[in-house]
Structure 1
Amino acid sequence: MNVVILAAGMGKRMQSALPKVLHPLAGKPLLSHVIDTARGLSPSRLCVIYGHGGEIVPERMQASDLVFAKQEPQLGTGHAVMQALPHLDEEVPTLVLYGDVPLTTSNSLQQLLDSAGKDKLAILTVDLDDPTGYGRIVRQDGRIVSIVEQKDASAEQRAIREVNTGILVAPTAKLKKWLATLSNDNAQGEYYLTDIVARAVADDVPVVSAQPKAVWETLGVNSKVQLAQLERIHQRNIADTLLEQGVTLADPERIDVRGSLSCGRDVSIDVNCVFEGRVELEDGVSIGANCVIKNARIARGASIKPFCHIEDAVIGADAEIGPYARLRPGTELAEEVHIGNFVEVKNSKIAAKSKANHLAYVGDATVGSRVNIGAGTITCNYDGANKFRTIIEDDAFIGSDTQLVAPVRVGKGATLGAGTTLTKDAPDGKLTVSRARQVTIEGWQRPVKIKK
């Protein structure tokens, strides 16, 4: 099977310099959704027709299984498919898709392909309560004989509710023949792909149809309003799938998945959470409200409290994170680690049952088990040019307002007094303190404001 994806349109109503098909839905370009769906059908050729925006479309979408053909100028859908002809295998059918119609499912497309077989023209159609503006599917004795555009339809034809979505499958050799006969003798001066229906009827090629399970599978994007509408439809579909899998969602209308989210049993997710990239939540994980989680693996029983930001991190079983915690790339937390409010962890490994409960920065550090990191603690890992690592061994106690100037090591069971600035290694099992001696000045008086 060949697949041709039409993605050359300007999208004037998007009011943007970015080509329409590159606008994001659920965190990835509209065109990427269509390409991914097409790949699920295992095509032998996958050709993208681009035009508006120049080379930015092939630059963003480049992959070994894609070929690109430029349509310049843009003279209609029939003209767009013509640009793909040199790349198509005549021995197999050709499926035509649209780069701005992102939600068509592979199941619906497979039904269309099955209807087409190897020698029929098959059109994906849909019944609309209000078909205004769409090309009507005209049938005789149940067979499709033509597609009539709104402006050309009679009153009787305008009453038809079955409309053309533009998605079709055609035998490639015949498609090449039909395209060669298209005319642009119309008000728009364009070559319309829908005109091949009349050519097929004239050649006694059966014109058949298939319909998707839902109308939203055929909806396209021509404006930011429509893009926002499809975003909510897509997110609600994801939410419904999660609910069917047993995930508890506080409000299915207030979740955004911009990648893949896999959940175990008894997972709960509060409102306004955003999941990006690849996120895995194991059994019993709870996610508080307003969290943003990207490319993370969170083990069983972990609790992520509200307003946490987590990126490229691994969180161990029964850990407690937040609220208002930030885990940056390279963070690996073992089981029962506690990271509290306004604590930032970056490129660090923290072993089991260690705690940093408030107001701390742990960067480029290796932290052992059962370590307590007091409020206000900072690992000073950057000298303005290079990053250095801090080692804190098992059972260490780091007092509040401590600065660990890396590279430095805190020994097993060591205690650092509050306010310490550690520039040398602290030995195992001993108290290390580095602070100015406390002095009380006798007879000192607080300054008062001078009256003018």
Structure 2
Amino acid sequence: MIPHEQEMTMDGLGVVVMAAGRGTRMRSEQAKVLHQIVGRPMIRYALDVARAVAGHSVAVVVGHQAAQVRAVLESALAEESGGAAVHIVEQVQQLGTGHAVLQTRSVFLSGRGSAPAVYLILNGDTPLLQEATVRALLQTHRTAGAAVTLLTAILDNPGGYGRVVRRTEKGASGAVHASADVVKIVEDRDASPEERAIREINVGTYVVDGPFLFAALDKVQPHNAQGEYYLTDIVDMAVTQGHRVAALPLTNPDEGLGVNTRLQLAEAEQVIRQQIRRRWMEAGVTMIDPASTWIDAEAVIGKDTTLYPNVTLEGKTVIGEGCEIRSFTRLTNCAVGAQVTILDHCVFADSQIDEQATLGPFVHLRPGVRVRKKAKVGNFVEMKKTDLGEGAKANHLSYLGDATIGKGVNIGAGTITCNYDGVHKYQTVVGDHVFLGSDTQLIAPVTVGAGAVIAAGTTVTQDVPADALAIARVEQVNRAGWAARRRALLATEQQVPVKPAGKRTAASKVSTKKKRR
């Protein structure tokens, strides 16, 4: 996780995360909240904020592709211990935002304990919303003594959004100005010309007093063409009942706006990536060209590590302190120890690299590799399910798969573990301080004992005892003068004129017929 100051949860705060919509403007068969931003499904951002502040419990409302969204949520919860309890509630029919929140009643008012004093309502498609902003909204709600508090944004072009209409007041000079209190939210299509001129819009994040929320939702009616129950109607109810409705405008308007299109998805990706880069640089990481450095949300980087241009750290990659990662390298779900050097054009996945190892350029580590302390892996080496021992060297042009290789082993260029017979895969075991000559083939299953030497060009089909020399190749034969005789023959053939092809004469045809008889 990105380093940040941990803040306490808020006692009595229940959180609703709405993640039931399809997101038709995404033009996708996949539910909107499952689209990824910086290597994480969008819903994870709202869930993180919810769990960071909830002191009671969290209810996530799912609907479209409920099973898939549930699976993502359960996977996320399995990875993180502690925190508020999270309940997943299904909205079988998507009948609007008010209806979605109503589905959580059984979670919060189960009778097994006290109900939340306050509710925070978040959207699953607002990945840019920051925890600090949510805490400020909760503080505004308490300070204002409001029944409902809205998060709002002031836009240069508010067209299409619901406008926040505030109560007007006269100042001492007689000038009319908007007060802190909200009177209503009016949809764009229903707004008067004066209301359309308002630039403050509702972004769909709310804080609502506990006793008021579900009592108000029970009275909401679907007075619209869509036949949906709108959460915004509780604002009118609060005002009608004489309760105060407050609002907190965002300092950065983009923070509260939802991701509804592929373009907005890409824009959110860029914003979050920039936030990640900034925070890791503040934590002591050097980036030669930050704009070209891509770091996923769950990656971790130690201080004094240097990332060169076009480095990509994906998934849950962890980089130790004092590392150097050169350009065009991509690591996915890897654990890298301290003071590791990774040269250009490397691709690693699901592998572990211990401290002070050196890898690259052009190294490919497939899942299940462990490179031990001070080991070296060089040009055009591919490894899969292999443990390369401490101080071992595989410097060039080799494939090592399903192998355990001991300390101090030297692997010559062109060495291959032949681990697959077309049906099954087998293990190769190489003991400590073995020397494997260039172009060695190890036909698994096979074991090479400690200290053994394998001659260059050897195909090893049997176990090699410790400290033995293994040679398995065709005996060399030297034929004296053969090369000179061959050159002379070739020169003679080149001097023989070749008769150009043409039409055959009658005589040649007769001759051919005679030969055929």
Q: TM-score, normalised by structure 1?
A: 0.92
Aligned to 1:285: 323
Count, aligned residues: 452
Q: What is the alpha-carbon distance in structure 2 between the residues aligned to residue 407 and residue 55 of structure 1?
A: 44
Aligned to 1:47: 59
How big is the shift at 1:49? 2.0
Superposition pairs for residues 165-244 of structure 1, below 5 Å? 165-244=203-282
CA contact (8 A) 2:301 2:320 kept: yes
Aligned to 1:126: 153
CA contact (8 A) 1:88 1:172 kept: no
Q: What is the alpha-carbon distance in structure 1 between the residues aligned to residue 225 and residue 463 of structure 2?
A: 82
Select between 334-343 and 255-264 the one with higher mean Cα deviation. Answer: 255-264
Q: What is the alpha-carbon distance in structure 1 between the residues aligned to residue 301 and residue 91 of structure 2?
A: 43
Q: Give the counterpart of 2:98 among 78, 85, 94.
A: 78
Aligned to 2:107: 87
Superposition pairs for residues 221-370 of structure 1, below 5 Å? 221-370=259-408
How big is the shift at 1:113? 2.1
How big is the shift at 1:211? 4.1
Superposition pairs for residues 149-168 of structure 1, below 5 Å? 149-168=187-206
Question: 1:356 is paired with a residue of what secondary structure?
Answer: strand
Aligned to 2:31: 19
Question: 1:32 is paired with a residue of what secondary structure?
Answer: helix
2:54 corresponds to 1:36: no
Q: What is the alpha-carbon distance in structure 1 between the residues aligned to residue 374 and residue 87 of structure 2?
A: 50
Distance 1:446 1:98, change over 3 A: farther
Q: What is the alpha-carbon distance in structure 1 between the residues aligned to residue 288 and residue 103 of structure 2?
A: 49
Question: 1:235 is paired with a residue of what secondary structure?
Answer: helix
CA contact (8 A) 2:276 2:297 kept: no
2:428 corresponds to 1:390: yes
How big is the shift at 1:391? 2.3
CA contact (8 A) 1:125 1:165 kept: yes
Q: Answer with 1 or 2: which has the greater Rg.
A: 2
Deviations 1:64-100 (A, max 9, x none): 8433333343222122222222322344222111111
Which amino acid in structure 2 is aligned with residue 135 of structure 1? G
Select between 192-201 and 326-335 the one with higher mean Cα deviation. Answer: 326-335
CA contact (8 A) 2:180 2:246 kept: no
CA contact (8 A) 2:180 2:247 kept: no
Q: What is the alpha-carbon distance in structure 2 between the residues aligned to residue 91 and residue 430 of structure 1?
A: 75
Which amino acid in structure 2 is aligned with residue 88 of structure 1? F
Q: What is the alpha-carbon distance in structure 2 between the residues aligned to residue 215 and residue 125 of structure 1?
A: 8
Which amino acid in structure 2 is aligned with residue 329 of structure 1? P
Distance 1:430 1:207, change over 3 A: same
> Which runs of 5 or more structure 2 residues have no equivalent in the other structure?
1-12, 79-84, 110-114, 168-178, 502-517
Superposition pairs for residues 141-156 of structure 1, below 5 Å? 141-156=179-194
Q: TM-score, normalised by structure 2?
A: 0.81
Which amino acid in structure 2 is aligned with residue 175 of structure 1? L
Aligned to 2:82: none
Q: What is the alpha-carbon distance in structure 1 between the residues aligned to residue 14 and residue 158 of structure 2?
A: 30
Deviations 1:102-147 (A, max 9, x none): 2212221122223334863111122223222222222223212212
Q: What is the alpha-carbon distance in structure 2 between the residues aligned to residue 433 and residue 91 of structure 1?
A: 77
Select between 85-94 and 4-13 the one with higher mean Cα deviation. Answer: 85-94
Which amino acid in structure 2 is aligned with residue 15 of structure 1? R
- CA-atom RMSD in angstroms: 2.5
How big is the shift at 1:166? 0.6
How big is the shift at 1:369? 2.5
Which amino acid in structure 1 is aligned with residue 89 of structure 2? A
Distance 1:280 1:91, change over 3 A: closer
Q: Give the counterpart of 1:422 among 454, 460, 463.
A: 460
The percentage of aligned residue pairs carrying the same residue is 39
How big is the shift at 1:373? 0.6
Aligned to 2:125: 100
CA contact (8 A) 1:47 1:67 kept: yes
CA contact (8 A) 1:108 1:211 kept: no
Q: What is the alpha-carbon distance in structure 2 between the residues aligned to residue 94 and residue 148 of structure 1?
A: 23
Q: What is the alpha-carbon distance in structure 2 between the residues aligned to residue 244 and residue 156 of structure 1?
A: 46
2:122 corresponds to 1:110: no
How big is the shift at 1:436? 0.9
Q: What is the alpha-carbon distance in structure 2 between the residues aligned to residue 325 and residue 301 of structure 1?
A: 18
Question: 1:362 is paired with a residue of what secondary structure?
Answer: strand
2:19 corresponds to 1:7: yes
Question: 1:419 is paired with a residue of what secondary structure?
Answer: coil
How big is the shift at 1:43? 4.4
Aligned to 1:67: 87
CA contact (8 A) 1:3 1:46 kept: yes
CA contact (8 A) 2:147 2:212 kept: no
Q: What is the alpha-carbon distance in structure 1 between the residues aligned to residue 67 and residue 317 of structure 2?
A: 32
CA contact (8 A) 1:259 1:275 kept: no
Deviations 1:268-312 (A, max 9, x none): 112232222222222221111222212222222211112211122
Which amino acid in structure 1 is aligned with residue 44 of structure 2? S
2:415 corresponds to 1:403: no
Question: 2:238 is paired with a residue of what secondary structure?
Answer: helix
Q: What is the alpha-carbon distance in structure 2 between the residues aligned to residue 68 and residue 136 of structure 1?
A: 31
CA contact (8 A) 1:136 1:160 kept: yes
Q: What is the alpha-carbon distance in structure 1 between the residues aligned to residue 307 and residue 364 of structure 2?
A: 18
Question: 1:129 is paired with a residue of what secondary structure?
Answer: coil
Where is the helix percentage greater, Structure 1 or Structure 2? Answer: 2
